[in-house]
A = this chain, B = another copy of it.
Amino acid sequence: MKKHIPEKTVARLLLYYRYLYFLLQQGTKNISSKSLADMVEIKDSQVRKDLSYFGKLGGQGAGYDVLALRDMIAKVLDIGQITNVCIIGMGGLGSALASYKGFEALGFKVAAVFDNAANKVGHRLRGHTCLDSKELSKVVAEKDLKVAILTVPGEAAQKTSIALEQARVKAILNFTPVKLSLSKNIKIRNIDLAMELKTLSFFVK
């Protein structure tokens, strides 16, 4: 039950969660590791190994109870408990992310959005009143923001990330192609879409 859970397992758990959610809506009560694996296009043993981190869940011979399994994953991943996030940089990408329903479905709430441009601050953008990034520290504390989504221009990325660390944000999802240099107290995950596109096309030739 206890040891270290690989990041990849966490990611797959989320995929399982989506399918279980879907199965429940369909009224499906029970599922085998094989069927679940087929939906995600991985091996059934991988599904079982992933789930085994969290104790006994299905009966041997029977499959898994869809509802129970979904609830277990929801619990492990803290879905249902709301995590407040903010977005810094309400340009094209930031605005798109601000209205993405997929975050809510996993328990995230975009509780504040920031920019520093005069034509944005104070205006209503995607259902949020855009705040001045100078207010970061204040708002992070007030709204208990745990995670920041960073979508400022590359040039502003490092500076802004320092402000985020000082504001005591716990983690940053970094969409800029800049390597952020911060202390180990703050967790960073980089999303590099140009790299994804290149990696995809590399293996196409």
Interface residues of A (CB under 8 A from B): 7, 10-11, 14-15, 18, 39-41, 77-79, 83, 85, 91-93, 95-97, 99-100, 102-103, 105-106, 108, 146-147, 149, 170-171, 173, 177, 179, 187, 189, 191-205
A196 near B203 (CB under 8 angstroms)?
no
Residues of B within 8 A of A108 (CB): 194, 197-198, 201
> How many identical chains are in the complex?
2
- Also in contact, A201 and B40, with CB within 8 A (given A95-B92, A96-B93, A196-B191): no
Residue contact A92 to B96, C-beta cutoff 8 Å: yes
Interchain nearest-CB distance for A2 vs B (Å): 14
Question: Which of B77, B171, B197 is the one whose CB lies under 8 Å from A147?
Answer: B197
